[in-house]
Amino acid sequence: MPARRRSARFGNVYTLSLLLSILVPVYNERTVVERSLLQVLAAPLPDDMQRELIVVDDCSQDGTYSILERLAEEDSRIRLFRHGVNRGKGAAIRSALEYARGDFCLVQDADLEYDPGDFPKLLRPLLDGHADAVFGSRYLPAAQTRVLPFWHSLINKTLTLISNMFCNLAVTDMETCYKVFRTDILKSIPIRSDRFGFEPEITMKSAKRKLRIYEVPINYHGRTYEEGKKIGWKDGLNALKVILHFWLIDDLYVGRYGRGFLNNLTGTPQYVRWICETIRPHLGDYVLEIGAGIGTLSGRLMSRRFCYYATESDQLYLHALQNRFLRIPNVVVRYLRPDDDGDFSPFAGAVDTVLCLNVLELMEDDAGLLNRIASVLGPGGRLVLLVPGGPGLYGTLDETLGHQRRYSARGLRQLLHKTGFTADSIYEINRVSTLVWRLYGHGLKAKRLNKSLLKVFDKTIWFWRIADRLLPMQGLSLIAVATRQ
């Protein structure tokens, strides 16, 4: 269990004292590892923050592990783990992260290149509530760094430039070791790279997740290759590969946050546009969206509304919504559980339209959710639903997404009538994808759609929108517009 925490300031409020998890990957560093860890243990921390060191020895062969064992026995703040085979820095960070219990996670190499005395300035933007992640830059004007070989510095800066071009950031040092994250956010990001590709991967995914990233200048005492530096030119080529791969692939959330339609929709902007253009004419001035996710649909639907309530029950998605709509005055982000009557009561009489997009099919009691929606709408209030169509299409893809069911137009109309609504219109859309869904979910027994296929579909959506009126099969999705009786 985490150490007992005392009162400390976090953002604009006071909370229990915070815990910093310092993730330390180690490989063959017997000459410097003891001095390095002692510096980390002695480094200043702000606001009476506590620390834990999660050290992962990546199958060192030079006696490093015996030194680490002794240090872990001498100081209970060190938690030591070991890989049976050498897997790389990214794999070691991934292993360490599994055991992190702190409020923040900081990556620390064990080679004495980075100065633990910089911890307070790295943590300050997080403690003030301004940042979700902080990068320590070796290239900001106030940074103090050892002068290193020209080509090594040029490669670092070139990789940073290329990364910035693809992820649309303006960081000065993508390859820096010193990266600090809110732990809940870092644990929700899947880390796939085993070696030094961790740096471009986490930068790209932070950009795609729209995290608030700050940079601060740091001290850097770089080593030469003769002194033990391990990263080489092959890692530079691999960094380019990682940048391109994660620019193309939206692998942004680990499984337990994997409401797949939220992640897939971010990579299909033209499909999202199709849905929004169908829904938008039916919205009033005061809108409540249930299960807004990461705001993919909300961002297109909230304009020209007097008040748009974007609600979520998942804390990570709530955080994403708050970041996205921080400076949008007509959008209010609220916590709401679809299965809790009490969470709906504050909205009674305050909205004229309720949006329930890709949520009803997740509920064990779908009629209960519709009754709760009816309770906040007055007579004549409008409900707009987006649900999966075709009960016969239910398969492994639906199971992966957590769908309890798929709907027929007739069954949905009856359910709406039973819960106090009149279905004004029900649209079947995206007929061509019915064939793909059946192939993947029934024929191949797949658990996810190929993301490259989704991108091809999105690039040709203009054609499929025209063909949708002509194709004979049922639509993959149903959009229902209903009025409160």
- What residues are paired with 16 via a beta bridge? 7
- What pTM does this model have? 0.69
Residues of the chain scoring pLDDT < 50:
1-15, 228, 258, 260
Q: Which CATH superfamily is domain 257-484 in?
A: Vaccinia Virus protein VP39 (3.40.50.150)
Chain centroid, CA 52 distance in Å: 24
> Which residues belong to CATH 3.40.50.150 in the chain?
257-484
pLDDT number for residue 12: 43
Compute the distance between CA of residue 454 and CA of residue 449 in angstroms, rounded to an integer.
7
Specify the long-range contacts of residues 470-474, CB closer than 8 Å, at least 24 apart. Answer: 471/431, 471/432, 473/431, 473/434, 473/435, 474/389, 474/390, 474/428, 474/431, 474/434
Candidates 404, 425, 415; CA nearest to 478 is 425
* Residue with token string 């790389």: 88
Compute the distance between CA of residue 347 and CA of residue 338 in angstroms, rounded to an integer.
13
The pLDDT tens digits of the residues spanning 1-24 come to 333 344 444 444 444 578 999 999
Fold of the 7-250 domain: Spore Coat Polysaccharide Biosynthesis Protein SpsA; Chain A (3.90.550)
Compute the distance between CA of residue 320 and CA of residue 332 in angstroms, rounded to an integer.
13
- What residues are paired with 181 via a beta bridge? 105, 133
The type of residue at 77 is: R
SS3 breakdown of the chain: % helix, strand, coil, rounded to 5?
40, 20, 40
User: Positive or negative CA dihedral for 364, 317, 277, 465?
Assistant: negative
For the chain, the C-alpha Rg in angstroms (whole number) is 26
> Which residues belong to CATH 3.90.550.10 in the chain?
7-250
The pLDDT tens digits of the residues spanning 410-462 come to 999 999 999 999 999 999 999 999 999 999 999 999 988 877 788 888 889 99
